[in-house]
Amino acid sequence: MQMLYTTKFELWKIISQKRLRLIQLLVLFGLLGIGCTPKPTNSPQRLTIGLVSYGDEKVSLDKYEPFKNYIEAQTKSIVELEPAYNELQAIEQVQHKKWDIVFAPPGLAAIAISKELYLPLFSMEEISSKQRCLLIVRDDKPIQKISDLANKTVALGEIGSAAGYYVPLYDLYGLTLAQIRFAPTPKTVLQWISEGSVDAGALSEKDFNSYRQDFGETKFKILHTSRWIPPAVVLAGPTVDHNLYAQIRKVMSEAPGNIAADAGYIPNTKTPNYDQFIKLIEKVKPLEDHLKQTPVVLTNPAKI
């Protein structure tokens, strides 16, 4: 009996030792396997270029395609073009830091610089070629000056537009309007004026000259011309690495002339100073709480 017990004990001891050895071998092979696994290579960095297309996505993408390909090749990055259809959508992208490079119209640029820490890279126009806001009415309307718009319906652009929103609000300060309608595009402003659904509308001088011929026999009249607005700018987002920022600035400044021209920026032009325009926007901000009321009383306690 004692011999049988001893034999079983020895057998159990041998099996246990073999199990322990097997576990040790499995651990060893596992460690060797981990050591032999090739290290993952760094994936290419991604850059998103944001722009405002006003609904014409194909034209915008085609226009910026050479620039996209150039940046992609020079920075060894994966570059994506992402259009927004108006300034309101663009502001959301900027606020969420979705765009690394932005071709920003003035209103969007002012918000991105002052609130979201975006940095100017290049001007999109000569500093002397600043744009202005126009208040437009039909020529057959008995409206001769801004004060005649009291108790009338006025079309503005979306929030974020310099010529369509901020500047006309500044110029209309003190009036009581029957209603404000917000147009998704500058062309829509002229359409509403043409069909008589609004009494007046605001858009940039450049957009007015571009679209006025699309409305046949309708004759428009310029009621008011605003102060100058700073040129649009190319911006770099705050999440862009410092070294990558320097690289982007360098390759954009060295871009072939046709690529820079198609993208609409001027490599050797000083970027505009936005300080005064940012102050204008801050003065207009208190009006925003009243804009969807009827009537719209464009006054606030802050002195403009």
pLDDT digits (tens, 9 = 90+) for 3-24: 443 454 454 444 455 555 555 5
DSSP calls for 83-151: EESSHHHHHHHHHTT--SEEEE-HHHHHHHHHHS--EEEEESS-TT--EEEEEEEETTS---SGGGGTT
Whether the CA torsion 137, 141, 287, 189 is positive or negative: it is negative
What is the per-residue pLDDT for 10? Answer: 53
The model's pLDDT over 271-300, given as tens digits with 9 standing for 90+, comes to 999 999 999 999 999 999 889 999 999 986
Asked if 80 contacts 50 with a C-beta cutoff of 8 angstroms, the reply is no
The dihedral region occupied by 71, where left means phi > 0, alpha psi between -120 and 50, and beta the remainder, is alpha
Q: What 8-state DSSP symbol labels residue 226? A: E
Which CATH superfamily includes the segment(s) 131-229+281-297? Answer: Periplasmic binding protein-like II (3.40.190.10)
* C-alpha–C-alpha distance, residues 37 and 40, integer Å: 9
Mean pLDDT of 65-90: 93
Q: Where in the chain is the domain with CATH 3.40.190.10?
A: 46-128+231-272, 131-229+281-297
57 pLDDT tier (thresholds 50, 70, 90) = low
CA-CA-CA-CA dihedral for 180, 183, 189, 194, to nearest 10: -80
Residue 29: is its pLDDT beyond 80? no
Examine the pLDDT at 39 and tell me if it is beyond 50. Answer: no
pLDDT band at 114 (very low <50, low <70, confident <90, very high): very high
CATH class of 46-128+231-272: alpha beta
Q: How far apart, in Å, are the Cα atoms of 297 and each of 38, 58, 86, 303?
A: 68, 40, 26, 15
- Peptide bond before residue 142 is cis, with ω within 30 degrees of 0: no
pLDDT in tens, 206-263: 999 999 999 988 999 999 999 999 999 999 999 999 999 999 999 999 999 999 999 9
Task: Decide if 136 contacts 208 (C-beta within 8 A).
Answer: yes
pLDDT computed for residue 197 by the predictor? 97
Q: What is the mean pLDDT of the chain?
A: 86
Contact 101, 237 (CB under 8 A): yes
CA distances from 22 to 18, 71, 227 (A): 6, 56, 84
Percent of the chain with pLDDT over 90: 70
